[in-house]
């Protein structure tokens, strides 16, 4: 009998036996991407994938909330500018960092970004492989893939999985990464994103933040505390690394209200940060 997957400890969320009720809106991307119009079939499909993930992998809060069905990249104010550039120049490259199931990768494909322009990357391929089952494109998906940690210098170094892209990437997107890292790892992550961008390249993304900035729950491997930046502290860090035209904005979308209710070891008011920074 398979053992239960272990959540990060201490982890502020208990895994429910079932996900929340699926809405028609939840299924918009999946329906458009797969061409399946029968939403009841899609609900059953999503539930089966969710159960398979729960049996094998950590069910993070975003997965519990079915956020892997909803692309985050189109909610960012900079995305229309990046999208227009990527569609007009097929030589431009974009990274989907922390791609997880790959919902933002599929959104870019639907929006007309050439697949050869996209590299989807994460620390592990586990959720990405489930994404191929979720989006039913295991045999057809043609984007580039690379797996490893952006906090590890070897990942972007010459000879590493992304070494060939160093200084060449026009846009780097990270939709939900920084808030799972320690303060030291956030700094390392940002330095390596800076390195891989071309001159004038833009890093844009979102993450959970806190006002004031500070530590909260353990990182996924349990060896450090996660660090949540405030708008002020994240802007200062990115400017210190060398980024220019840095913009960091905090907001309180609906999902953050419940997150503030659920979080333990909080130490501050949680917010969603949207950031943009140019090399």
Structural domains in the chain, sorted by start: 25-67 (no CATH), 72-278 (3.40.50.150)
Phi-psi region of 136 (alpha: psi -120 to 50; beta: other; left: phi over 0): left
Q: According to DSSP H, which parts of 39-182 are helical?
A: 39-56, 61-64, 79-88, 103-110, 126-134, 153-156
Strand order in the sheet with 169-174: 144-147, 118-122, 94-97, 169-174, 197-211, 269-278, 244-251
Tokens read off for 233: 């502290």
What is the CA angle 184-14-224, rounded to 5?
15
Structure confidence at residue 177 (pLDDT): 95
Structure confidence at residue 222 (pLDDT): 72
Q: Structure pTM?
A: 0.90
**Per-residue pLDDT tens for 42-83?**
999 999 999 999 889 877 778 888 999 999 999 999 999 999
* Whole-Å CA distances, 14 to 126, 163, 262: 21, 38, 10
User: Are 49 and 26 within 8 A, CB to CB?
Assistant: no
Structure confidence at residue 116 (pLDDT): 98
Sign of CA dihedral 175, 245, 199, 191: negative
Where are any strands of DSSP class E within the chain?
94-97, 118-122, 144-147, 169-174, 197-211, 214-218, 225-228, 244-251, 269-278
Q: Rounded to an integer, what distance in angstroms lies between the CA atom of residue 44 and that of residue 48?
A: 6
Where are any strands of DSSP class E within 123-180?
144-147, 169-174
Structure confidence at residue 5 (pLDDT): 45
Tens-level pLDDT at each residue, the chain (279 residues): 344 444 444 444 446 677 888 999 999 999 999 999 999 999 999 999 999 998 898 777 788 889 999 999 999 999 999 999 999 999 999 999 999 999 999 999 999 999 999 999 999 999 999 999 999 999 999 999 999 999 999 999 999 999 999 999 999 999 999 999 999 999 999 999 999 999 999 999 999 999 899 988 777 777 788 999 999 999 999 999 999 999 999 986 555 444 444 444 455 788 899 999 999
């Amino acid at each position: 009998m398979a053992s239960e997957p272990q959540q990060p400890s201490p982890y502020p969320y208990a895994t429910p036996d079932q996900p929340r009720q699926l809405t028609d809106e939840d299924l918009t991307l999946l329906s458009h991407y797969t061409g399946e119009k029968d939403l009841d079939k899609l609900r059953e499909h999503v539930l089966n994938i969710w159960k398979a993930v729960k049996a094998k992998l950590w069910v993070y809060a975003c997965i519990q909330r079915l956020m892997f069905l909803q692309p985050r990249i189109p909610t960012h104010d900079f995305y229309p500018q990046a999208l227009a550039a990527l569609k007009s120049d097929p030589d431009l490259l974009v990274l989907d960092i922390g791609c997880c199931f790959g919902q933002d990768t599929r959104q870019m494909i639907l929006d007309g970004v050439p697949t050869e322009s996209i590299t989807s990357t994460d620390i592990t391929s586990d959720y990405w492989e489930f994404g191929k089952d979720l989006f039913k494109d295991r045999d057809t998906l043609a984007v580039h893939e690379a797996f490893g940690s952006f906090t590890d210098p070897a990942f972007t170094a010459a000879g590493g999985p992304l070494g060939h892209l160093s200084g060449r990437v026009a846009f780097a997107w990270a939709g939900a990464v920084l808030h799972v890292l320690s303060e030291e790892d956030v700094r390392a992550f940002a330095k390596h994103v800076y390195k891989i961008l071309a001159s004038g390249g833009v890093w844009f993304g979102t993450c959970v933040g806190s006002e004031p900035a500070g530590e909260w729950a353990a990182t996924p491997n349990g060896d450090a505390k996660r660090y949540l930046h405030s708008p002020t502290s994240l802007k200062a860090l990115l400017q210190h690394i060398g980024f220019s035209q840095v913009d960091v904005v905090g907001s309180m979308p609906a999902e953050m209200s419940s997150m503030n209710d659920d979080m333990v070891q909080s130490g501050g008011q949680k917010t969603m940060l949207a950031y943009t920074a140019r090399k």
